[in-house]
Structure 1
Amino acid sequence: MDPHLLRTFVTVARLASFSEAARKLGYTQSAVSQHIAALEQDLGAPLLTRRPVVPTAAGERLLEHAGPLLLRLDAARADVVRMTAAPRHGLTLATTPTALGVGVLAALPPAGVTLRVLTREEIPAAVATGTADLGLVDGLAAPSDPLRLPDVAPLTTHGVAEEPVSVLLPEGHPLAARTGLRLGDLADARWLDAPDAALPLDHLRAATGGGAFRSALRYEGTDLHTLTALAAAGHGLTLLPRRVATAVPGTAAVPLTAPRVVHRTELIHGGRPGGSAEGVVRRLVGAGRVG
Structure 2
Amino acid sequence: MDTHLLRTFVAVARHGSFTAAATELGYTQSAVSQHVAALETDLRTPLLRRRPVALTDAGARLLEHAEPLLLRLAAARADVTRLVAAPAEHLVVGASALALGGGLAGALAAVRSRRPLVSPTVRVLERAEIAARVADGTLDLGLVDGVAAPTDPLPLPDVGPLSAVAVTQAPLAVLLPPGHPLEGRRGLRLADLADARWIDAPEAAMPLDRLRAASGSDGFRPSLRYEGTDVRGLIALALAGHGLALLPEPALDGVAAGVPVPRLVHRVELLHGGLTDGPAALLAAALTG
Do both proteins adopt the same fold according to a TM-score greater than 0.5, normalized to the shorter chain? yes
- CA positional deviation for 1:173: 1.8
- Look up the match of 2:257: 252
Whether the 8 Å contact between 1:197 and 1:224 is mirrored in structure 2 is yes
Number of positions where the alignment pairs a residue of Structure 1 with one of Structure 2: 282
Give the distance between the partners of 1:50 and 1:106, measured in 2 at CA: 53
- Look up the match of 1:187: 194
Give the distance between the partners of 1:101 and 1:26, measured in 2 at CA: 38
- Look up the match of 1:100: 100
- CA positional deviation for 1:80: 1.9
Give the distance between the partners of 1:22 and 1:207, measured in 2 at CA: 43
CA RMSD of aligned residues (A): 1.5
- Look up the match of 1:25: 25
Q: Deviations over 1:181-201 (max 9, x none)?
A: 111111111101011110111
Unaligned runs of 5+ in 1: 287-291
* Residue type of the alignment partner of 1:115: V
Please show how residues 1-291 of structure 1 align to structure 2 within 5 Å. 1-101=1-101, 103-108=103-108, 109-110=111-112, 112-248=119-255, 251-257=256-262, 260-286=263-289
Give the distance between the partners of 1:190 and 1:219, measured in 2 at CA: 14
Unaligned runs of 5+ in 2: 113-117
Q: SS of the counterpart of 2:27?
A: coil
Moved over 4 A (4+): none
Q: SS of the counterpart of 2:250?
A: helix
- Look up the match of 1:289: none
Whether the 8 Å contact between 1:184 and 1:211 is mirrored in structure 2 is no
Give the distance between the partners of 2:143 and 2:86, measured in 1 at CA: 23
Whether the 8 Å contact between 1:165 and 1:239 is mirrored in structure 2 is yes
TM-score, normalization: structure 2? 0.93
- CA positional deviation for 1:234: 1.1
